[in-house]
Structure 1
Amino acid sequence: MKKEMSFWTAIIPLVVMIGVMAVTVVGLEQGPHIPLIVGTATAAIVAWRSGFKWEEIEESMYKGIRLALPAVVIIILVGLTIGAWIGGGIVATMIYYGLKIITPSLFLVSITLICAIVALAIGSSWSTMGTIGVAGMGIGISMGIPAPMIAGAVISGSYFGDKMSPLSDTTNLAAGLTNTDLFVHIRHMFYTTIPGLVIALAVYAFLGKDFGKNGMNSADIQQTMETLQANFVISPLLLLIPLLVIVLVAKKVPAVPALIIGIVLGFSSQVFIQGGSFTSAISALQSGFVIDTGNETVDNLFNRGGLDSMMYTVSMTIVAMTFGGVLEYTGMLQAIVKQILKIARTAKTLVASTVVSCFATNASCSEQYISIVIPSRMYAKAYEEKGLHSKNLSRALEDGGTLTSVFIPWNTCGVFILGTLGVHTFDYAPYAVLNFVIPILSIIYALTGFSIVKLTDEEKLALKHQEDTTVNQ
């Protein structure tokens, strides 16, 4: 006979998963997959001990995976898009013109905008920080700007682009796991992310007004631009491709066809504009673009993309949703959420609690993906019951999860930044302005009700129909 899950029983799998995650990710510097599998096994044992049959536990895993399938499709298309856009010279063109906006008197502002442009183009904060960010650190330090300031500006710009790019895996995860249209999710993030960027740029303009008076050694940037010109056809016409995708977004074209159009145009650009063969263009889609320019910065930035590059994220998503599925469909999440909702009684406090929970997950699980996956399943039903649109949840996941990962020294993001930019978390934290301003804005918006969108009667009926269909499957 099934027993109702108590709070203390329900948190056993989470405690075990977090403990194994801490040892595996922080101590052994391995990925989060195995801790999630251990957590799933623990959850299955707890459910079995509580009276669930194995067939029911197995079905709960499959239900969790089915919820992630839309996100998996988008993630795969994102990998294809990155390969096609790099091979087609679209990314090179965006970076080339982005680099031209650097000015000595506004270096911190410029490097923030450049990192934002690059991250928007490729959908990856890590790749941006590991390439443009590293070059920016060297240039900024030579101008006498403190390393923590430069690192903070690089991080702010990189995470702005990552958060707002339709090519970003975390952006797609947040949208997909909450069953929110990708571009609806991105548009809703404008409310917190654009003011966050404006505030960050204002702070960097104030901090950097006394720097750059002695001029700037732009040899590294110039060399990068020359390398791009030597290896790609750089043309402003190529900017029409991302512009077209933006127009499609504005016209509310669904994410899948919009991305497919971008992939086809990028593939065509590689063959007919860049002069690549069909073989190399197909290879870029499958295993990523490959180039050897002799310029390490350019090579590190452009040797990426393709379907294969997304398999890590896809497998992590499937494993995480297996864990989440057992927690959700055996009643464990409900038991945990019931305790949280004793505090978060209103829609306003629910959104604020989501942001805080994402930060807590970042600290306890040491991985920004998990800070999106677990809270997304914990709170989805509560948002629906309080009549809140899912885009409120998807935005809160990004505001509280994606951005705050950089403030945890033992989080994979904090570890990556220390190794890449050479600045400790506690040193750059005060200067990663965008990353702490946006969660604060998100909580303020939640408590005041600003930009919190309620479900319409039609949307409530559609959700009810979707739930009835899922239950009957």
Structure 2
Amino acid sequence: MEKKIPFWSAIIPLVIMITVMYLSVVKFEQGPHIPLIVGTTVASLVALRYGFKWKEIEDAMYKGIRLALPAVVIIILVGLTIGAWIGGGIVATMIYYGLKMITPSFFLISITLICAIVSLAVGSSWSTMGTIGVAGMGIGLSMGIPAPMVAGAIISGAYFGDKMSPLSDTTNLAAGLTNTNLFEHIRHMLYTTVPGLVIALTVYWFLGKNFGKSGVDTTDIEQTIHALQNNFVISPFLLIIPLFVIVLVAKKVPAIPALIIGIFLGFLSHVFIQGGSFAEAISALQNGYVINTGNEMVDNLFNSGGLESMMNTVSMTIVAMTFGGVLEQTGMLKAIVNQILKLAKTAKGLIVSTIASCFATNATCSEQYISIVIPSRMYVKAYRDNGLHSKNLSRALEDGGTLTSVFIPWNTCGVFIFGTLGVHAFEYAPYAVLNFVVPIISMIYAFTGITITKLTESEIIALNKAEEMTLNE
């Protein structure tokens, strides 16, 4: 007999977790780990109350963790990449030439477009932020631009490319789960994402003008450049390493082996170009790079990276997915979404509810993949019943799920960004313009009917035949 948890019981773990999260993160300025453990404990007690055995709850936790394992591997590799690329002088070279070529008034626009192009090529916002983003933070801080503003521009660019890239896992996931042609899905996202990027670039141009007018302390920039020259071998040939990694992924080499190659090349650069010992290069991979230049900005930026720097992120991911696994596998999340479906009786309400559900899943399950997987399962039939093409659902999943994950400090994306760029979600949120503008555009389209595609009669007939064949098998 199937065990069902009613809505009012299903929301108890969420309410308690969110309450404890607020007290921990906002009031006491502590991490999100303990609130999520509290939420997992309460969710487990609710499941036990409704007849689930402990073994089933434990299996639900493990299933959640297994979903996060690919993300954990990437997190670890990005930590190694940062350590290797800082030690190898690659990040220093990027910052050096960035300071030479980019002016403050156009920096935010430039870093957004650079991150968008790289992320579009590699299909990964995390890889982009962990490499180009780290260098961009250094350049922006050297120019006197506030860290939250720089991080917001980096995030906007990285998530534009991630969302629109055919190599992106979330893009393929949203298209696959809704049975939508991949490139039809991408073309449909152009209607919300391109206007979002234009708005973001306009905002960054306006913000950049303020810095251009007020001027920048060129003395500080010159001191930073001298600090880089005195402590690293700067060479344009070092830029071949990140370019090579980008080309590998663009050639459809999986992200993991491509990053491993980048780490190996950075390690070799540390030893044979920067003159470090093997022990120092290994230590940079494990513990992060250590330097004391006397320049505070350079020291703050370059004393980072390594496997150890990502352990907080790894533990956060595991704890978050434990909570998400219990909610999903015991049917609590399903009970919550089903309640929302009762309110979404029109096409416009359905799309807005999808976006809201994706955001809520990001906040409660702390993982953008789940924010795509669960709503896609729950809403796919409702879209068809309302005569809506599946690409409306796949777009809403990405607009509401992929992009909003960055605004949740305890979400794996928010935690990763904090660990990589060093800026808290609440600080960069107002400047991650693309990420909050696109969901708004998507909801405006839902209310006005703009770009909302209905199923044709031939498509409905084809879907009915496919369903009949499935039932007869």
TM-score range normalised by the length of the shorter chain: 0.7 to 0.9
Aligned-pair CA distance for 1:218: 1.2
Rounded to whole Å, the distance in 1 between the matches of 2:357 and 2:60 is 24
Q: Specify which of 401, 416, 422 is matched with residue 405 of structure 2.
A: 401
Check whether the contact 2:372–2:401 (CA below 8 A) recurs between aligned residues.
Answer: yes
Which residue pairs with 2:199 in the alignment? Answer: 199
1:46 equivalenced with 2:50 (yes/no):
no
Q: What letter matches 2:378 in structure 1?
A: A
Matches within 5 A, 1:178-327: 191=190, 196-206=196-206, 212=212, 216-327=216-327
Q: 1:160 to 1:206 in 2, by over 3 A?
A: closer
Q: 1:55 to 1:84 in 2, by over 3 A?
A: same
Check whether the contact 1:39–1:323 (CA below 8 A) recurs between aligned residues.
Answer: yes
Check whether the contact 1:120–1:164 (CA below 8 A) recurs between aligned residues.
Answer: no
Secondary structure at the counterpart of residue 233 of structure 1: coil
Rounded to whole Å, the distance in 1 between the matches of 2:271 and 2:244 is 19
Matches within 5 A, 1:15-30: 15-30=15-30
Q: What letter matches 1:159 in structure 2?
A: I
**1:423-460 deviation line (CA, Å, top 9, x unaligned):** x979x94x6644433333454677756899x9xx9xx9
Check whether the contact 2:87–2:266 (CA below 8 A) recurs between aligned residues.
Answer: yes
Check whether the contact 1:94–1:121 (CA below 8 A) recurs between aligned residues.
Answer: no
Which residue pairs with 1:338 in the alignment? Answer: 338
Matches within 5 A, 1:145-184: 153-160=149-156, 163=159
Where does structure 2 lack aligned partners over 5 or more consecutive residues?
116-125, 177-181, 384-389
Q: 1:371 to 1:94 in 2, by over 3 A?
A: same
Secondary structure at the counterpart of residue 154 of structure 2: helix
**1:84-120 deviation line (CA, Å, top 9, x unaligned):** 11111111111111122333xxx34324535886997
1:123 equivalenced with 2:130 (yes/no):
yes
Rounded to whole Å, the distance in 2 between the matches of 1:441 and 1:172 is 22
Q: What letter matches 2:244 in structure 1?
A: L
Q: What letter matches 1:356 in structure 2?
A: A
Which residue pairs with 1:469 in the alignment? Answer: none
Rounded to whole Å, the distance in 2 between the matches of 1:172 and 1:306 is 25
Rounded to whole Å, the distance in 1 between the matches of 2:136 and 2:330 is 41
Check whether the contact 1:2–1:50 (CA below 8 A) recurs between aligned residues.
Answer: no
Q: 1:163 to 1:211 in 2, by over 3 A?
A: closer
Q: 1:164 to 1:90 in 2, by over 3 A?
A: farther
**1:182-207 deviation line (CA, Å, top 9, x unaligned):** xx99x969956665444333344356
CA RMSD of aligned residues (A): 4.6
Q: What letter matches 1:93 in structure 2?
A: T
Secondary structure at the counterpart of residue 4 of structure 1: coil
Secondary structure at the counterpart of residue 306 of structure 2: coil
Aligned-pair CA distance for 1:68: 1.1
* TM-score, structure 2 normalization: 0.73
Which residue pairs with 1:102 in the alignment? Answer: 102
Q: 1:127 to 1:95 in 2, by over 3 A?
A: closer
Q: 1:163 to 1:451 in 2, by over 3 A?
A: farther
Q: What letter matches 1:113 in structure 2?
A: S
Q: 1:320 to 1:448 in 2, by over 3 A?
A: farther
**1:210-248 deviation line (CA, Å, top 9, x unaligned):** 874575431111211111111111111111111111112
**1:334-353 deviation line (CA, Å, top 9, x unaligned):** 11111223345799866654
Aligned-pair CA distance for 1:370: 2.6
Aligned-pair CA distance for 1:258: 1.1
Which residue pairs with 1:145 in the alignment? Answer: none
Rounded to whole Å, the distance in 2 between the matches of 1:303 and 1:75 is 18
Which residue pairs with 1:10 in the alignment? Answer: 10
Check whether the contact 1:63–1:325 (CA below 8 A) recurs between aligned residues.
Answer: yes
How many residues were matched structurally?
Answer: 422
Check whether the contact 2:84–2:267 (CA below 8 A) recurs between aligned residues.
Answer: yes
Which residue pairs with 2:378 in the alignment? Answer: 382
Rounded to whole Å, the distance in 2 between the matches of 1:296 and 1:116 is 28
Q: 1:229 to 1:195 in 2, by over 3 A?
A: farther
Matches within 5 A, 1:400-439: 400-402=404-406, 404=407, 429=430, 433-439=433-439
Rounded to whole Å, the distance in 2 between the matches of 1:232 and 1:333 is 51
Rounded to whole Å, the distance in 2 between the matches of 1:246 and 1:269 is 18
Check whether the contact 2:404–2:436 (CA below 8 A) recurs between aligned residues.
Answer: no
* TM-score, structure 1 normalization: 0.73
Aligned-pair CA distance for 1:279: 0.8
**1:157-204 deviation line (CA, Å, top 9, x unaligned):** 2323554699xxxx9997899899xxx99x969956665444333344
Rounded to whole Å, the distance in 1 between the matches of 2:59 and 2:173 is 18
Rounded to whole Å, the distance in 2 between the matches of 1:178 and 1:226 is 47
